[in-house]
Amino acid sequence: MQRVIMSGDEAVARGAWEAGVSVAAAYPGTPSTEILENISLYKDEIYCTWANNEKTATEIAIGASIGGVRALAAMKHVGMNVASDPIFSAAYTGVNAGLLIVSADDPGCHSSQNEQDNRLYAPHAKLGMLEPSDSQECKEFTKAAFELGEKFDLVMLLRMTTRVCHSKSVVELGERAGAPPVAYTSKPEKYAMLPVNARKRHVAVEQNLNRLKEYAYSSPLNRVEDNGSSIGVISSGISYMHAKEAFGDSVNYLKLGITYPISDRLVREFAAGLEKVYIIEEGEGYLESYVKALGIPCTGKEMLGCQGELDAHKIRQAFGLEAEPEIYEAGINAPPRPPVLCAGCPHRGFYYAMSVRKDKIIAVGDIGCYSLGVNAPFYGFDIGICMGSGFSIPIGLSKAAKLQGDKRKVFGILGDSTFYHSGFTSLLDAVHTCADVCLCVLDNSITAMTGHQENAGTQKDLMGYEVPAIDIVQMIYSTGIDKSRVKIVDPIDQEQMGAAIDEALETEGIFVIVAKRPCALLKEVIKANRGARCVIDQDKCRGCKACMKIACPAMAFENKKAIIADPASCTGCELCAQMCKFDAISRVEGGR
Ligand SMILES: Cc1ncc(C[n+]2csc(CCOP(=O)(O)OP(=O)(O)O)c2C)c(N)n1
Ligand code: SF4
Ligand code: SF4
């Protein structure tokens, strides 16, 4: 038996391969991204793709499942909101071959706009749910999810969290097996969710969940650890690991692997005779509400709260256990390092041009590397809610501004991947509503924030094959918008960038700016740049700090002069050079 160290995400990918999955789709999002990246290593056996959003990813997987092959769709927690429309109805249809939705939640908002707990989706959408605690379980539970989903005709949810996705632990590898493809046969009564069929399927899914609940009582995915204590802990996922670290063998455990539906019988038998039941869970009081609804007194959320990540330290403090090891002190004292736009980032040029015209603009942002423009020194936008909203919130905002006599123009800002994800439909609304807005696509030719995933605009797909690149400018023109209202500019070139914003400010009605320049970290960009960088002539520098206004992390101010403190990260983009009135900054080719 081969044993390797894998992250949870890698182990899910391996589990999918061992389970015989044939189709996998996802939209990237931390902490789920590496699942599809690793599935692509099996591209000879698994067709995999970055879909344009989580809804289409899920629908691709639904199609494959109905078509008779095992399929998986992976996403971060907020992605499940986008995918929830097909998920709620697919739950009624059930599956032909297994269908697994993987949700990677982000307690503590390490890289997310909220910390929603997607366990709540399972009862709401009527999905069978498994929650792994480590990498081995990630692999095994992925395989089990396909078996259980097929056995009970249920769509399954594998619910993970950041620490499960990204922690590494030992995994025993297996072989690729899984069920052979099931032939597709026409069954509209099962798969066409018109009211007449949906009513019957609602009955079926309830029955199927009850069958899974029966099974859960004796399933090896749930585990009781009897340490002879009068205190029992009920937990699941990473919280079980934290509970073990905090309580050790001083309590009994009910570790739930199947967290929807939960076996009442199992919980009742575990709790019987115990003096105290603690529910240790991160996020919402999901297990606690369930256990309390069974009439079993228990304690959890009142001690732990529902915000932020859980850890053994928090549990020890909440339950008055012995002092924590010193390692926590070290963690607490680590200095914060807020993320910044990279040296040479094209978004910096856009935000600088916006910042000098700030008084005339109300700006709405979105989610991507360009979100970092919200911080000092640019304070590039005030509002940022969810993907795609950067183009639709301005519609309502501009109507409100007009009603109140606010003369500022409302700008919307989003990136290329976000435009494909849901920004385009928002643009359609802007055109349809004759909105008086300027919508800006910061097209850096890649999905940068999540680690350079291909998207509909790239000529390569996830598997490395050549595919047609879908042109954003043509998409914009396809709305019928007058071409004179669309400006395509290089955001680093301040003359072009500034002129486009000025024109937008002078134009009544819709205006679109495509600020197009590839991400500075793209391999092709780095290669084409051939080590070019900028240098600052110290004799010419007057120490006026004009170049510091762009906050490039490659620059510093020392001894009353600007310097390129980190020449290795300088890309020679020359944005700083455009700031200098004294010609002190110049680009040198092949400077490294
Ligand atoms: C619904 C949803 N799905 C996924 C994410 C994760 N996510 C955040 S930013 C981003 C990519 C943005 O790419 P792009 O719009 O091209 O901007 P860039 O980072 O390249 O500047 C993704 C996938 C999210 N926050 N919300
Ligand atoms: S990864 Fe690319 S787009 Fe993101 S901040 Fe860095 S240079 Fe800018
Ligand atoms: S040229 Fe100037 S702005 Fe561009 S990366 Fe180098 S130091 Fe930063």
What DSSP assignment string belongs to 326-363? THHHHHHHSPP----PPTT-HHHHHHHHHHTTGGGEEE
Angstrom CA distances, 304 to 270, 280, 301, stand at 22, 8, 5
Average pLDDT of the segment spanning 514-529: 96
Average pLDDT of the segment spanning 478-494: 98
**Closest ligand, as measured to the CA of 109:** 1
pLDDT-derived band at 12, boundaries 50, 70, 90: very high
Are 396 and 486 contained in the same domain?
Answer: yes
What pLDDT does 330 receive? 54
If you ran DSSP here, which 8-state letter would residue 251 be given?
A: S
pLDDT-derived band at 338, boundaries 50, 70, 90: confident
What pLDDT does 339 receive? 87
Is residue 195 scored above 70 in pLDDT? yes
- 23-26 and 252-256 as β-strands: parallel, antiparallel, unpaired? unpaired
Are 476 and 490 contained in the same domain?
Answer: yes
**Closest ligand, as measured to the CA of 422:** 1
Last residue of a domain, one of 179, 195, 218: 218
Are 391 and 313 contained in the same domain?
Answer: no
Distance 449 CA to ligand 1 centre (A): 6
Are 455 and 379 contained in the same domain?
Answer: yes
Q: Does residue 475 form part of some domain?
A: yes
Are 494 and 473 contained in the same domain?
Answer: yes
What pLDDT does 236 receive? 98
What pLDDT does 326 receive? 59
**238-248 confidence digits (pLDDT tens):** 999 999 999 99
Average pLDDT of the segment spanning 514-534: 95
Are 214 and 355 contained in the same domain?
Answer: no
Are 321 and 356 contained in the same domain?
Answer: no
Q: Does residue 469 form part of some domain?
A: yes
- Could you tell me the CATH number of the domain that includes residue 304? 3.40.50.920
Average pLDDT of the segment spanning 311-322: 93
The verdict on the CB of residue 343 being under 6 Å from ligand 3 is yes
Q: Does residue 340 form part of some domain?
A: no
Structural domain count, the chain? 4
With the CA atoms of 431, 435, 438 and 439 taken in that order, what torsion angle do they form, in degrees rounded to the nearest 10? -40
Last residue of a domain, one of 525, 547, 563: 525
**42-87 confidence digits (pLDDT tens):** 999 999 999 999 999 999 999 999 999 999 999 999 999 999 999 9
pLDDT-derived band at 180, boundaries 50, 70, 90: confident
Q: Does residue 341 form part of some domain?
A: no
Last residue of a domain, one of 181, 199, 218: 218
Read off the pTM: 0.96
Of 347, 521, 529, 552, best ligand 3 pocket probe by most atoms within 8 Å of the beta carbon: 552
Average pLDDT of the segment spanning 27-51: 98
What pLDDT does 132 receive? 98
- Could you tell me the CATH number of the domain that includes residue 561? 3.30.70.20
Distance 334 CA to ligand 2 centre (A): 25
Residues with C-beta less than 6 Å from any ligand 1 atom:
27-29, 76, 78-79, 82, 367-370, 387, 414-418, 444, 446-450
What pLDDT does 327 receive? 57
What pLDDT does 46 receive? 97
In three state form, how does the secondary structure of 75-133 look?
EEHHHHHHHHHHHHHHHHHCCCCCEEEEEEECCCCCCCCCCCCHHHHHHHHCCEEECCC
**372-385 confidence digits (pLDDT tens):** 999 999 999 999 99
Q: Does residue 211 form part of some domain?
A: yes
- 223-225 and 252-256 as β-strands: parallel, antiparallel, unpaired? antiparallel
Structure tokens at 578: 């455009």
Are 313 and 418 contained in the same domain?
Answer: no
Residue from 363, 369, 407, 360 nearest 389 by CA: 363
- Could you tell me the CATH number of the domain that includes residue 384? 3.40.50.970
Distance 438 CA to ligand 1 centre (A): 21
What pLDDT does 452 receive? 97
Average pLDDT of the segment spanning 321-337: 67
CB distance 70 to 22 below 8 Å: yes
CA distance 143 to 353: 52
The verdict on the CB of residue 414 being under 6 Å from ligand 3 is no
Residue minimizing CA distance to atom 1 of ligand 2 = 448
Are 324 and 366 contained in the same domain?
Answer: no
The residue range of the domain holding 414 is 346-525
Is residue 328 scored above 90 in pLDDT? no
Average pLDDT of the segment spanning 527-550: 96
What pLDDT does 544 receive? 97
CA distance 575 to 102: 42
Residue from 468, 418, 469 nearest 442 by CA: 418
With the CA atoms of 348, 351, 356 and 361 taken in that order, what torsion angle do they form, in degrees rounded to the nearest 10? 180
Q: How does the average pLDDT of the chain come out, rounded?
A: 96
pLDDT-derived band at 16, boundaries 50, 70, 90: very high
Are 132 and 278 contained in the same domain?
Answer: no
Are 261 and 379 contained in the same domain?
Answer: no
**293-306 confidence digits (pLDDT tens):** 999 999 999 999 99
Question: What secondary structure does DSSP assign to 204-216, as a single string?
Answer: HHHHHHHHHHHHH
Give the SS3 label for residue 569.
Answer: coil
**139-175 confidence digits (pLDDT tens):** 999 999 999 999 999 999 999 999 999 999 999 999 9
What pLDDT does 329 receive? 53
Q: Does residue 336 form part of some domain?
A: no
Distance 520 CA to ligand 2 centre (A): 6
Number of the ligand 2 atom closest to the C-alpha atom of 343:
7
Are 363 and 401 contained in the same domain?
Answer: yes
Is residue 590 scored above 90 in pLDDT? no
Is residue 331 scored above 60 in pLDDT? no
Q: Does residue 551 form part of some domain?
A: yes
Give the SS3 label for residue 65.
Answer: helix
Number of the ligand 1 atom closest to the C-alpha atom of 29:
6
Q: Does residue 337 form part of some domain?
A: no
Q: What residues contact residue 443 under an 8 Å CB cut-off, 6+ apart?
A: 415, 416, 419, 457, 472, 514, 515, 516, 517
pLDDT-derived band at 122, boundaries 50, 70, 90: very high
**420-434 confidence digits (pLDDT tens):** 999 999 999 999 999
Angle at 99 between CA 98 and CA 102, to 5 degrees: 135
What pLDDT does 334 receive? 75
